Amino acid sequence: MSVEDIFLELLNQDMENIFKQIVTDYKDRVQENKKNEFTIENLGKIFQIGGIKRIKEKTTEKSKEISTDNRCMARIWGSTPPVAYYCREKQKYIYGERCSRPKKCDKDYCGLHLKNLPHGRFGELPPHEHFEKYLVTEN
């Protein structure tokens, strides 16, 4: 048995435990006509992990990096918890991260963020206050 197989088995065991929990916790909330489908077996069929791939090491080739000018201007949540602090040097709040995808043609945003900009534009204030609770004060 390869390491991948063992890992896969462990993952699927974890998934099954999650399904069990979900079915136990939510079966009462599922519509009557859907109850037959809401089983651990069915969830397993839909979501079971069939294979895993090792993620390739990040390439450091310069040509693949997107220059700052060509990067999407959208703010993304980024990590969890997100980046949120007051930058004294720039004298402004930094919230989240900038999208790392390339801009679309002559637009400011990538394809995804042209359609939807949930966290606003990077460098401007976000359109909501969801970052506030993650704010860390720098010493």
Q: Which residues bind Zn ion (CB under 5 A)?
A: 72, 74, 99, 101, 110, 113
Q: How far is CA 8 from CA 17, 30, 43, 52, in A?
A: 14, 29, 17, 7
Shortest Cβ 139–Zn ion spacing (Å): 33
By beta-carbon proximity to Zn ion, the closer residue of 84 and 103 is 103
Nearer to Zn ion, 72 or 84 (CB): 72
Least distance CB 65 / Zn ion (angstroms): 16
Distances (CA, A) of 100 to 3, 30, 37, 97: 32, 39, 39, 9
Contact in structure between 104 and 52 (CB atoms under 8 Å): no
> Residue 15 or 112: which CB sits closer to Zn ion?
112
Q: How far is the CB of 86 from Zn ion (least distance, A)?
A: 25
User: What minimum distance in Å lies between the beta carbon of 73 and Zn ion?
Assistant: 8
* Residue 101 or 130 having the CB closest to Zn ion: 101
